Homo-oligomer: A and B are copies of this chain.
Amino acid sequence: MELKNKKLSRDEFLKIREEVLNQWPTGRDVDLEEAAQYLKSVPDYKNFCVKLKKAKDEGITLAQPRAGVALVDAHIELLKYLQNEGGADLLPSTIDSYTRQNRYSECEVGIEESKKAGRSMLNGFPAVNYGVKECRRVYESLELPLQARHGTPDSRLLSEIIHASGWTSNEGGGISYNIPYAKSVSVEKSLTDWQYCDRLVGIYEEMGIHINREPFGPLTGTLVPPSMSNAVAIIEGLLAAEQGVKNLTLGYGQCGNLIQDVAAIRALVEQAEEYFKEYGYDIELTTVFHQWMGGFPADESKAFGVICTGSAAAALAGATKVIVKTPHEAVGIPTKEANAAGIKATKQTLNLLRGQRLPLSKELKDEIELIKAETKCIIDEVLKLGKGDIAVGTVKAFEAGVLDIPFAPSRYNAGKMLPARDNNGAVRYLEFGNVPMNKEIRDYNRKLLEERAKYEGRDVSFQMVVDDIFAVGRGVLIGRPEK
């Protein structure tokens, strides 16, 4: 079947489905009708869409941690702790890395080893191996909406299992869960597989069930210029909408310059809504702001500084939710205590700033316009390459380096674009590679980087990029040369 941005027919969907449910024995327990009944019993306060809508209407920013361990009971204990002690507003189940690569037999090893070792040997919760029954047990043990968070290029079986278990949100997308997470999965393949995941949500919607979908905004989490991540978010939003998704949360990973961060969220909402309108999709749109996704400082107090700065930016931007890091970030998967600590620091910050927004200034307005203009250059070219089909255009755009994610592991990514911070810490394009921008934008980005170079008394170069990658972990935003 050829990739096209067109809603899968029910027949096409069901045909693929047969194969999907056979990928691992637990697939056989998923029954669409029965699952729909189950999902209809999810109360409002445990439904992701409802909780997000309420937060959006009240202008509140919700806090959501990441968390997942190998064994079900330990996983439930962990999530309950984050709910009760941490005060999380939304809960995750972070899926382990073997599942993300569909290596379910390695998960079995991980589960067994974890039992033996008495601690989790997996970096997440292997939901597919456990299947619907156990995943429902997780859902039923909790009092908050539950979402799968992962990084799975082909998450069709995973999506079937988690939604059938009452988990009312799924993170990911054909670009955002491939390029940063895989090496040799073609964009065509992952887009096709995520059409399936989106279609599944669309089919539930047709049955009157509301499920939220969230493209993964931060991508590699490392100096991604806002216009590049916004372009990807909007493309994934459009692809999901075509498959019948109605409730979307678009995401963005903190870059560190407050004005740029706030501008990125505002530009994202405004521009996504314009595109949805243009294409006639009726979407309930919310946003997610990721606290700093790059390398963290190992010192826990310093980590709190990073966490709270991100929370403040999320609040001032008016994001609907914020994804929380922990004081253990630089070292390893957090204990439940460290995870709760991250949530508490985040919520305190959000509460202190509740209702406060960064007011519109010339600087903020200019930055919003710049991000929108850059994003438009990219999306226009994607559409052109696809002759109007954004799915086809996306495949071609990665081939051409029009879409290009810095530091991504995928061999389907050109890796020619290079970002660096300007003198105010905002992330700019150092090398455009084949990312298409008009001359004005190119000159402006260059000018800003030259300003920094001058201030630092060195040339604009790859060394700046390297320095910027290490900077936050070393306690500063901008990687200036040592004095």
Contacts and interface: CB of A to CB of B under 8 A. Distances in A.
Interface of A: 256-259, 297, 299-309, 311-312, 316, 340-349, 351-356, 358-364, 423-425, 472, 475-478
Contact of A308 (B312, B340, B359, B478): B312
A76 B450 CA distance: 46
Most buried by B among A304, A342, A344, A358: A304
B342 A301 contact: yes
Given A257-B356, A356-B259, A425-B356, A347 B475 contact: yes
A169 B315 CA distance: 37
Given A348-B297, A349-B309, A361-B361, A356 B258 contact: yes
B362 A359 contact: yes
A475 B309 CA distance: 17
B299 A304 contact: no
A356 B261 CA distance: 12
A261 to B, nearest CB: 10
A368 to B, nearest CB: 13
Contacts of A349: 305, 308-309
Given A351-B475, A352-B476, A475-B347, A359 B259 contact: yes
Contacts of A299: 344
B425 A308 contact: no
Contacts of A345: 301-302, 304-305, 308
A302 B308 CA distance: 10
A477 B348 CA distance: 9
Given A305-B344, A308-B312, A355-B424, 6 more contacts: A300-B341, A301-B342, A302-B345, A305-B308, A309-B349, A359-B363
Nearest to A303: B348
A340 B309 contact: no
Nearest to A426: B356
Contacts of A351: 475-477
Contacts of A258: 316, 353, 356
Nearest to A313: B312
A166 B95 CA distance: 59
Given A344-B299, A359-B363, A352 B304 contact: no
Nearest to A356: B258
Contacts of A478: 354
A453 B305 CA distance: 34
A292 to B, nearest CB: 8
A61 to B, nearest CB: 13
A361 B424 CA distance: 19
9 contacts: A257-B356, A300-B341, A301-B343, A301-B345, A302-B348, A305-B344, A307-B308, A308-B308, A354-B425
A362 B363 CA distance: 13
A20 B428 CA distance: 62
Most buried by B among A300, A353, A423: A353
Contacts of A356: 257-259, 424-425
Contacts of A477: 351-354
A348 B425 contact: no
Contacts of A344: 299, 301-302, 305
